[in-house]
Each structure stands twice: as structure tokens, then as C-alpha cells.
Chain A
């Protein structure tokens, strides 16, 4: 038996496989597609974001620091004002009518800080001090009119009888005198409320030393409020 060796034929190529060149081209094409094409907005933002955040953080910190500093300074000044005013308030407390006027004007020069003490002077109801307190509030309004108007509007809006009649009457008068335009609507409501009021349900308390709230008290305050409203709304 003889063994004959015949060379094996090369494997036949797959009948449908694309040629190598084509495959290479396809691969190259796909690689090309995978390559990044320039930089879009997001890429730019990504790169800039670190810078933007830095700037924003800086601005916020400047703003916040400023606000905190201002608040601290405001508080510091408030305390300083209170200290300045303390002596004046003590003097006013036991002053005669003329001295009370001087002290009230000096207090009024502290602007908004003088408003609460002046309202308190009115509330205390010392007869000779009322004119001084009104003058003090006028002086304060020359510096910070908006604030004074706001606080006086708060007085007439109060319905809890926190303030006695003369405080309401003075506030109603001052709102007109100081031309507090934003007070026109509250004054209108106030006049309406007073028209429906009786001594039992008036929005203010009795004058110290009096025998109680009277119809005359309500009429006096109402008249003052009406006069101020007229002054504010006249063309």
C-alpha cells in the first residue's frame, strides 16, 4: 500500500465577505466618526464653569459680607443712638413743657430711632409733653419721613387698644401734616371704623386720669382723621 500525499487546497474564501479594502475603509470611516468634531457649548461651559463658579462665589461672598457688615454696623449704630438718646429721654421724662420741646427736637434728630420713644411719650400722657412729642416726630420725619409715616400708620391700624386716645389723635393729625400718601387708604378705613365705634369698642384706650372713653373722644379723633384724609386726597 502506498501513501500518496496531495497538497490541501487553500480554504475557499467566504462567498459574500467584502473585500479587505472595503472593510478597512469602513473601519476608517467609523473611526473618523468617532473622532470628536470641534467643541460644542456644553464643552465650553464645562471648561468655563470652574471660572464662573469662582466668580459667582466671589460675588456672593462680597454681597453676603457686605450685608452682614451693614447689619452689624446698623446694630452698632442703633446701640450708639440708643445710648445717645438715653440721656435725652431721661431729661424729657422730668422736663417742663419748654425743656421737653428741646429734648424732643434733639431726639427727633436721630431720625427713625426717635419714633418709638416719641410714641411712648405720647402714650405716657403727660399733658405738657404732648406738643413736644409731636414736634419730635415732625423732626424725625424731616430725616426719615417714610419710616415715620409707616409707624404712625401702624398706630391707627392697631385695634387692640394698645394706645390711648391721644396717641391715635396725634398720629391721625401727623399723617396729614407729614403728607403720608400711603396712609390715605388706611385713614379711609380708620374713619369708617370710627364711625361704627362706640366707647365700648373704640380702637383706642382711655386717656390716663379720665373716667373712660367718651363719644367726644371718638368724635375728636375722627375729625382729625377726616381732616388728614382730606389733606392727602385733595387734588
Chain B
């Protein structure tokens, strides 16, 4: 550190201390890998972080499995939406495993939202117990307003499939829930970006997400699952009500009959 200008000696010491603390902190903490690949893809994105497999899998095997999952899932997502502007792009974030909410400080969330990332997921496949595999996945629906609902959702699955990693990968690639979370997040992002102009697409996304998640959560959803379902209905009802009076909206939702609105959004519900 060299500088011609005279400095206060304490500033030099302060910087030395800050730097030392920084490096010593680094020595025993290691944050999640960054994922600069998302900067190269334009459009709505799902970030696929690492999903670790049971300890029997070697690094090479795990890498192959993740590549297989990336390929299968990417292919399925590409075919989901007809409209190119709304299509999801799967971005593989190699080596990245976030440590829950701590890995998503406000600036990081803002950065991900600015890049149209709607969903990020990571997880692990546990060693089978009593003949069943346990899969733990964590989803982050990024544009969800953290003030009213947590964008984080953790899910535990016991897939009824064969025990080989390839079969688990095939099951993961076919998981409808993933698409539902992405749709919920995309609806919010569309509304934030375009307002009334996005009402039709956002309503469709919210309805589709709700329809997929209700059976997935089963008859006894957890508190966070209930909160998510309620959020989806609330946003849909806000769209339905506003579309009828908002002069900036010119689409078909303007003419939805009162009885349909009342049926889908009963007074006191969806408010």
C-alpha cells in the first residue's frame, strides 16, 4: 500500500486492521459460489444450484448427474411456454450451494431480480432409509415481496421411484412443483414491471401455480405453504378487481361478470 500523499497514521492502521479481519474471516468461512453465468442469458431465469447426492457418489458422478438433470430439466422448461418473451431459461450454477436466507442479503436479491431471476433452487438427496429416498429442496421465489410473504420455501420429498441416482434425476426433472414456483414468481415480476398490461399473463400464471401447488401440498399444508397459497389467491383477486375499473387495462378481464369475481374472490377472501 503506497501513496505519495501524507495520511493520518490511524487511517493506515485502520485499513490494516480491516484487511486483516477480512482475510482472517475468509480463512474460516466460505460463502456460496457466485453464478456469473446468469449475466449471459437474457429472459426469465431459473438458477439450478448444486443438488448433492448420497455420499456414495463421487464428485465426478455427481457432476454427471447434475449435468443430466440440467439437460433434462432445461429441455422441459424450454417447451413450457409458447411465448418466447415469457419462456424460462435454466441457468446452471456449478458449485453453488447457498446457506439459506443468509446468502441472500438485500443487494443480492435486488441483483437477482434485476436480472429477471424468478427462482433459485438447491438441495440434497439423502441416503435411503427404510427403502425410501429423501430429497430436500429449497426454493427461493425472488420477486416475492418479503414484507408480506417469505420467498423461501423448503420441501422434503419421498419420491416413489427406483433407488438409482439416474432415476432420482429423472424424477427431479419432471417435478411440476418447480414450474409452479417459477410461475408464481414470474407473475409477481410481470406485475411489478408492467402493471395492468401484464394482468392477463399474471392471472394465468397465478391460477396455474395455485392449481399445481394445492394437490402438491396435500390436505394438511404447513403454515408457509398455506401462506403461499393465500398469497396466490390474493394477488389473483387484486387483478380481477382492479381490471374492471382500471382505465389502463383494456383486456378481457374488464368484462368478467360480478358473480364470477364474487365466486372466485368472496368478500373478505383474497383481500
Most buried by A among B14, B18, B42, B103: B18
> Interface majority SS on A: helix, strand, loop or mixed?
helix
Stretch at the interface among B3-11, B51-59, B163-171, B234-242: B3-11
A155 in contact (CB, < 8 A): no
Give min CB distance, A54 to chain B, whole Å.
31
B30 in contact (CB, < 8 A): yes
**Contact (A209, B4) CB under 8 Å given A96-B31, A129-B34, A130-B107:** no
Contact between B31 and A97, CB atoms less than 8 A apart: yes
Assign chain B's interface to a size class. Answer: 35 or more
* Choice from A106, A130, A144 contacting B111 with Cβ under 8 Å: A130
- Distance, CA A102 to CA B15, complexed state (A): 12
Q: Which of A75-95 contact B (CB under 8 A)?
A: 77, 80-81, 84, 95
Stretch at the interface among B71-79, B112-120, B179-187, B257-265: B112-120
Contact between B34 and A126, CB atoms less than 8 A apart: yes
**Contact (A126, B114) CB under 8 Å given A73-B4, A99-B31:** no
Contact between A128 and B38, CB atoms less than 8 A apart: no
**Contact (A98, B19) CB under 8 Å given A126-B36, A207-B114:** no
B29 in contact (CB, < 8 A): yes
- B67-106 interface code vs A (CB 8 A; 1 in, 0 out): 0000000000000000001000000000000000001010
Q: Which of B5-58 contact A (CB under 8 A)?
A: 5, 7, 11, 14-16, 18-19, 22-23, 25-26, 29-36, 38-43, 45
Give min CB distance, A170 to chain B, whole Å.
9
Q: Which residues of A contact B3 (CB under 8 A)?
A: 77, 110-112, 143-144
Contact between B26 and A106, CB atoms less than 8 A apart: no
**Contact (A98, B2) CB under 8 Å given A105-B22, A139-B15, A143-B11:** no
Q: Which of A107-127 contact B (CB under 8 A)?
A: 108-112, 124-127
B192 in contact (CB, < 8 A): yes
Q: Which residues of A contact B38 (CB under 8 A)?
A: 127, 209
CB-nearest residue of chain B to A217: B114
Contact between A127 and B34, CB atoms less than 8 A apart: yes
Q: Which residues of A contact B33 (CB under 8 A)?
A: 96
Contact between B23 and A128, CB atoms less than 8 A apart: no
A182 in contact (CB, < 8 A): no
* Choice from A70, A142, A211 contacting B43 with Cβ under 8 Å: A211
A234 in contact (CB, < 8 A): no
A101 in contact (CB, < 8 A): yes
Give min CB distance, A124 to chain B, whole Å.
8
Contact between A110 and B34, CB atoms less than 8 A apart: no
Q: Which residues of A contact B192 (CB under 8 A)?
A: 216
- Distance, CA A84 to CA B18, complexed state (A): 17
Most buried by B among A109, A139, A142, A216: A109
Contact between A209 and B115, CB atoms less than 8 A apart: yes
Contact between B39 and A105, CB atoms less than 8 A apart: no
CB-nearest residue of chain B to A97: B31
B108 in contact (CB, < 8 A): yes
Most buried by B among A80, A101, A211: A211
- Distance, CA A4 to CA B19, complexed state (A): 136
B267 in contact (CB, < 8 A): no
**Contact (A97, B32) CB under 8 Å given A111-B3, A166-B114, A210-B116:** yes
Contact between A98 and B116, CB atoms less than 8 A apart: no
Contact between B34 and A210, CB atoms less than 8 A apart: no
Show 6 residue pairs from A and B whose CB-CB distance is below 8 angstroms, ordered by the A residue: A96-B34, A98-B30, A102-B22, A106-B23, A127-B35, A209-B38
B interface residues (Cβ-Cβ under 8 A, vs A): 1-5, 7, 11, 14-16, 18-19, 22-23, 25-26, 29-36, 38-43, 45, 85, 103, 105, 107-108, 110-112, 114-116, 192-193
A interface residues (Cβ-Cβ under 8 A, vs B): 70, 73-74, 77, 80-81, 84, 95-102, 105-106, 108-112, 124-131, 134, 139, 142-144, 165-166, 207-211, 214, 216-217, 220
- The 6 nearest A-B residue pairs measured at CB: A102-B22, A127-B111, A98-B31, A208-B39, A128-B34, A109-B15
